[in-house]
Amino acid sequence: MQRRQLAALLGAAGLGMALPAWAQKSGAASRLPQGELELTVPFPAGGNSSLLAKALARQLTKEIAQPVRLEYRGGAGGTVGASYVAKSPPDGLHLLIGDSSMLISRALLLQLDVDLYEDFAPLALVAEMPQVLLVNPRRLNTRSWPELLAELRRRPQRFRYASAGIGSSNHVAGEWFKHEIGASLEHVPYKGAGPAMLDVVQGNADLMIAGLSSALPHLQTERVRAIFVTSAERSPLLPEVPTARELGLTGFQSLAWYGVFAPKATPAPVQAQLIEAFRAMAQAQAVRQEWQAIGARWPGLYGADFARFLQDEMKHWAGIVRDIGANLRP
């Protein structure tokens, strides 16, 4: 029996198929692809991308009433996972959670086989959060910002900062931090923020600038100490931690962001229906509460507005790379 005939019979019997409210309004059932949706995380588990992807998959499953599976494909600063999605069927069932690292790689002119602008359709900017400077208190047990600053400057190359890899957002943030304070710190790249954070916690690296979500569990157990946040205002989750601006680093402001992308050739109607699903998610109280709990907010940019945001971000990071780029390339 044809799907439409079955739907008509069920409707006539008062047993119409249960569709999300947004699907009923827009006729999404005829265009949204059916089956398991695969959301690729281009970094190892344990980092901000992973934490957000889990929450996103859980909420998206509820919204579209079909399963969402996470696919972890870490490596090369997110490029391995991004390349996998770019080459996947453009059917709306293969999506990527990407972050600013994708733009930074372009700004660095790294030779990659995937390009943010050429290979992807931006669907939704789903999260922004502050980054936070973390130190291992056993390695840097200073009691004030002036003491920490003096110690970092006094012992060049003595201290090591961790990052998710060459060209990652916390790599750029680390080099930017060095540039701002005039200190020489050794960069130790890892294959993702999760492994980098673990080494800071264990004392194999001294400090790291990380997204707030992945830092929170370790801050709560006091295995790392927060020095400042990179947002314009203090985080409600860390009200006692000052901003970088408060400590005199007036130009040091940035937010980690995360968005969902589809392969470029994904049909426009399918893109539109996925965007509507994300719009509907943003209105759910459960989503707002979950995002607040991990120190993130949902910016509410979709499609063309998200694309314009990416263009502005590209200019932002290109300017930073221009200032400190000599220290960013492999």
Low-confidence stretches of the chain (pLDDT < 50) are: 1-30
Same domain, 135 and 238: yes
Q: Is residue 136 part of a domain?
A: yes
- DSSP-assigned letters across all residues of 44-77: -TTSHHHHHHHHHHHHHHHHHTS-EEEEE---GG
pLDDT at 29: 42
Same domain, 162 and 307: no
Same domain, 177 and 194: yes
Cα dihedral angle (50, 54, 56, 62), rounded to 10 degrees? 170
Same domain, 171 and 108: no
Domain coverage including residue 278: 35-128+257-324
Query: Mind listing the pLDDT tens digit for each residue in 10-44?
Result: 343 333 344 444 444 444 444 677 899 999 998 87
Q: In CATH, what number is assigned to the domain containing residue 87?
A: 3.40.190.150
Answer with the one of 227, 254, 281 that is the final residue of a domain: 254
Q: What CA–CA distance (Å, rounded) separates 110 from 52?
A: 27
pLDDT at 118: 84
Same domain, 111 and 150: no
Same domain, 102 and 134: no
- Helices then strands, counting H and E runs in the chain, come out as 13, 10
Residues linked to residue 72 through DSSP beta bridges, in sequence order: 41
**Angle, helix 193-202 to helix 48-64, in steps of 10 degrees:** 130
Same domain, 248 and 148: yes
Answer with the one of 203, 225, 254 that is the final residue of a domain: 254
Q: In CATH, what number is assigned to the domain containing residue 139?
A: 3.40.190.10
Q: Is residue 236 part of a domain?
A: yes
- Give the list of residues 6+ apart from residue 325 with CB closer than 8 angstroms, or none: 108
Answer with the one of 230, 254, 278 that is the final residue of a domain: 254
Q: Is residue 210 part of a domain?
A: yes
Domain count within the chain: 2
Q: Is residue 8 part of a domain?
A: no
Q: What CA–CA distance (Å, rounded) separates 125 from 304?
A: 11
Q: Are the beta carbons of 99 and 205 closer than 8 angstroms? A: no
| Length, in residues, of the chain | 330
Q: Is residue 284 part of a domain?
A: yes
